[in-house]
Amino acid sequence: MSDADNYEASTRGGKSDAQAEFEYEEKGLLGRIHSILHHSPALVPLIVLVLAVIVFGLLNANFWRVATLSLIFQQIGIVGILGIAQSLVILTAGIDLSVGAMAVLSSVIMGQFTFRYGIPPSAAIVIGLAAGTAMGALNGVLVAKLRIPPFITTLGTWQIFLAANYIYSANETIRSQELDAEAPVLKFWGSTFEVFDARVTYGVVLLLVLVAIMAYILRHTAWGRHVYAVGDDEEAAQLSGVNRSRQLIQVYALAGFFCAIAGWVMIGRFGSVSPSASTGQLGNIQAITAVVIGGISLFGGRGTIVGMFLGALIVGAFEMGLRLAGADAQWTYLLIGVLIIAAVAVDQWIRKASA
């Protein structure tokens, strides 16, 4: 037996081998979980949603009624569409604090162009959608061309769009009766139809369609892969031929377009055109909440639109479930806060394990 063989025999089974074996077993156990979550980021919010539905249903059987579930979908209609906009931006490792303000200003433009200037409502809607797209494109240019951090850029434009909303509208609300008489198309997405004795708005159908379309685009098109590439590693994406600036401007412009759609849906949901709608102040926070709970990484490059949709449903389920259980409304914010921190902690673990 050679000296090398003697050395291997004498050291085999020592402390280093035991440690290596332990690390292998640990990696095998946690590695499977990590791999599943890495490739299916929507799995965690799906599990949370299922558990929430079961628990709240056991606490109050009315939660399982079709009418209750329909109401949850209606409540997340606006937040869900804003969440699509926010998801696109966050997937590129950015953030958009102006989504709510863009939605409200777009809705005000639709209303004011109809009633102040006498433009046909359908044309006013197109103008409002174009305005939302332009606002988003402005954010994109500031981020992509001037290299201003997305947080600072959209914090500034949030204030600008919100102020412009009040100045342009003179804080004037266009009421439901006026809309019904002269521009019912502005309230179209608030119209309802019945399914299994439950009233469903067309806004809910629109949300489902948009989620399906964007999920397909992000997963199965080159443009969608470029969105993930820019968020995952901007320099590597550029070296591989992705035009970073153009991609970012397109993403922010599309986000603005979705915000304008949310503004149109908002008119139908609230029944009026109001510059003081709470979405302007809270829409960005609600959208970010749905995105984070839905498993989309705030660091970009990982997550799905379906996950965001599940995140919005989780928030809606918690709000409705706790209300039916007779709990204090503050418990909703407390539990959602816990979910946000837990979602970011899971994301950090996945990123660390992938490094």
Report the amino acid identity of residue 225.
R
According to the model, what pLDDT value does residue 30 have? 66
130: tokens are 């174009």
Q: Is residue 127 part of a domain?
A: yes
Distance CA 86, CA 288 (A): 7
Residue 192 Cα distances to 127, 237, 346, angstroms: 25, 45, 39
Tell which wins on pLDDT, 9 or 268: 268
When divided into structural domains, the chain yields a total of 1
Asked if residue 87 belongs to a domain, the reply is: yes
CB 109 within 8 A of CB 128: yes
What is the percent of the chain where pLDDT is above 90? 68
**Which contiguous run of DSSP H or E holds residue 249?**
helix 244-270
* Selection from 61, 78, 318 nearest residue 201 by Cα: 78
The verdict on residue 15 lying in a domain is no
Could you give the 3-state DSSP secondary structure of residue 325? coil
| Angstrom distances, CA of residue 285 to CA of 17, 98, 254, 282, 312 | 50, 10, 19, 5, 12
Whether residue 23 is predicted with pLDDT greater than 60 in this model: the reply is no
Length of the chain: 355
Q: 108 is in which domain, residue-wise?
A: 42-348
- Tell me how far the alpha carbon of residue 336 is from its chain's centroid: 15
Total Cβ atoms within 10 A of residue 33: 12
pLDDT at 37: 67
Query: Is residue 18's pLDDT more than 80?
Result: no
Distance from C-alpha of 75 to C-alpha of 305, rounded to nearest angstrom: 18
Cα 284 → chain centroid = 9
Q: Average the pLDDT over 185-214 and give the result.
A: 93
Phi, psi of 272 (to 5 degrees): -160, 170
Burial of 217 (0-12, 13-18, 19+ CB in 10 A): middle
User: In this model, does residue 349 exceed pLDDT 70?
Assistant: yes
Q: CA angle, corner 289, sides to 87 and 332, nearest 5?
A: 155
Whether 24 maps to a domain, the answer reads no
The answer to whether 296 touches 302, Cβ cutoff 8 Å, is yes
Roughly what angle, to the nearest 10 degrees, separates helices 244-270 and 121-144?
140
The percentage of residues in the chain with a pLDDT greater than 70, rounded to a whole number, is 88
261 vs 153: CA distance, rounded Å: 22
Tell me the pLDDT tens digit for each residue of 284-338.
Answer: 999 999 999 999 999 999 899 999 999 999 999 999 999 998 888 888 889 889 9
* 32 in any annotated domain: no
Domain membership flag for residue 14: no
Instruction: Examine the pLDDT at 231 and tell me if it is beyond 70.
Output: yes
Termini Cα distance of the chain: 42
Contact 296, 92 (CB under 8 A): no
Going by pLDDT thresholds of 50, 70 and 90, the confidence category of residue 355 is low
Query: Scanning the structure block, which residue is given the tokens 């494109």?
Result: 137
Measured CA distances, 355 to 349, 350, 352 (Å): 10, 9, 5
Residue 235 belongs to domain with CATH number: 1.10.3470
Q: How far is CA 150 from CA 224, 246, 306, 320, 327, in A?
A: 20, 15, 24, 33, 38
In a domain, 262, yes or no: yes
Distance CA 80, CA 258 (A): 10
- Name which of 94, 305, 291, 295 is nearest 218 in CA terms: 305
Instruction: Identify which has the larger pLDDT, 262 or 7.
Output: 262
Residue 298 falls inside a structural domain: yes
Label residue 44 by pLDDT band (50, 70, 90): confident
